[in-house]
């Protein structure tokens, strides 16, 4: 199953979702991430907390919609993002809201990662049912 996680600039939310999903659920699920726009770099705190899992995804780093494979995704999951994904083929879409403050401190990123991890695990349980 192929899943695409989308957020505004692919620097925090979708990066975390892609890496954690691939780490814990490959090969059954293959996750990708992208941003509607692209940030300059993955947030340094995100890099720090994902370091143990980075090898789970060969595509770690900033990606735009033009960088993702031209396949049909079983799910497109937007995270704190607008609904805008032209030319992306998908069967189902979900929208996740993650609470955070805009400071992006290490504590905030850890809180974001915990929320995303919980949502990923719940999602996996629901699609397996």
pLDDT tens figures, 57-103 = 777 789 988 899 999 999 999 999 876 677 899 999 999 999 887 66
φ, ψ dihedrals at 63, nearest 5° = -135, 145
- Asked if residue 96 lies in contact with residue 114, where contact means CB atoms within 8 angstroms, the answer is no
How far, in Å, are 48, 63, 85, 95, 96 from residue 82 at the CA level?
27, 17, 9, 9, 11
Please give the model's pTM, rounded to 2 decimal places. 0.92
CB atoms closer than 10 angstroms to residue 28: 9
Instruction: Kindly list the domain boundaries of the chain, sorted by start residue.
Output: 2-128
CATH (one of 3.40.190.10, 1.10.4160.10, 3.40.50.300, 3.40.50.2300) for 2-128: 3.40.50.2300
């Amino acid at each position: 199953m192929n899943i695409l996680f989308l957020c505004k600039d692919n620097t925090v939310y979708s990066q975390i979702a892609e890496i954690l999903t691939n780490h814990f659920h490959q090969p059954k699920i293959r996750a990708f991430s992208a941003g509607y726009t692209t940030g300059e770099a993955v947030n340094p705190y995100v890099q720090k907390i994902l370091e143990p899992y980075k090898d789970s995804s060969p595509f770690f780093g900033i990606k735009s919609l033009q960088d993702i494979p031209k396949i049909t995704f079983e799910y497109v999951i937007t995270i704190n993002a607008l609904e805008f994904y032209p030319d992306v083929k998908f069967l189902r879409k979900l929208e996740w809201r993650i609470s955070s403050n805009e400071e992006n401190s290490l504590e905030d990123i850890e809180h974001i990662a915990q929320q995303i991890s919980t949502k990923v695990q719940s999602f996996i349980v629901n699609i397996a049912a």
